[in-house]
Amino acid sequence: MFDLSQKVAVITGAGSGIGAAIAVLFARQGARVVALDLNESAEATAAAIAAAGGDATARRCDVAKPDDVAGTFRGVAAEFGRLDILVNNAGIAHVGTIEQTTADDLDRLYAVNVRGVFLCAQAAVGIMVPQGHGVILNMASIASLVGVPERFAYAMTKGAVHTMTMSIAIDYVKRGLRCNCICPARIQTPFVDGYLRKHYPDREDEMRRVLDAYQPIGRMGTPEEVAALALYLCSDEAAFVTGQAYPIDGGVLVS
């Protein structure tokens, strides 16, 4: 089950955290992984995959820039002749209410979290439709399903990801494409570590316990747990699943 042998999978934001975990797991399941990130961090992910015997290449790509995205996906199509899976994982965060959010903050998040998903999905669809199959998986958030305090701009962008997912799914269901999104609660990633170091330098352990307690299960999730759900949704075992938003939230939505 969950065999991705020889499938070509592009994963954005693959340099760390959830994206890196997805890239590693997909390669372990046989995929030919193309790891994308804004900087050279994707190269470390590809190197780790290669060291474990997997198949991966790394490419620098700013998902907010149309020329970067178009060139990257043209290169993938030219090199591999196909694209089976796109995981739109690249994203940035912002903490604040509407009063604490500037227009520049909003534009910055929109550029990556919304336009980036749009550009990559559009490029992927252009490859997938002629071949008659493909899977797009977007990374949304529970903030696209329920209110989360002090996440105004972030929730706005993830709400857009959620609705883009449904739109792509319904527009292309008759043409062999599937599109779903994952909606995580708090996940223990390098971003969380950096946030705690920056804002609570003398209270990191205390505030980490607060973040853990937000999930009724008593802890944050791990990137590997999100990757496992991503593997299911991108595999042939999920061939009957499209247009869905899958929470992975430690019980937040039922508390």
Q: Which residues are catalytic?
A: 154
The one-letter code for the residue type at 99 is E
Can you tell me which residue has the tokens 């929730």? 155
Centre a 10 Å sphere on the Cβ of residue 240 and count the other Cβ atoms it contains.
6
- 190-199 and 204-214 helices, crossing angle to 10°: 130
Angle at 80 (CA atoms; ends 57, 77), nearest 5 degrees: 100
**Read out DSSP for the chain?**
----TT-EEEETTTTSHHHHHHHHHHHHTT-EEEEEESSTHHHHHHHHHHHTT-EEEEEE--TT-HHHHHHHHHHHHHHHS---EEEE-------B-GGG--HHHHHHHIIIIIIHHHHHHHHHHHHHHHHT-EEEEEE--GGGTS--TTBHHHHHHHHHHHHHHHHHHHHHGGGTEEEEEEEE--B--HHHHHHHHHH-TT-HHHHHHHHHHHSTTSS-B-HHHHHHHHHHHHSGGGTT--S-EEEE-TTGGG-
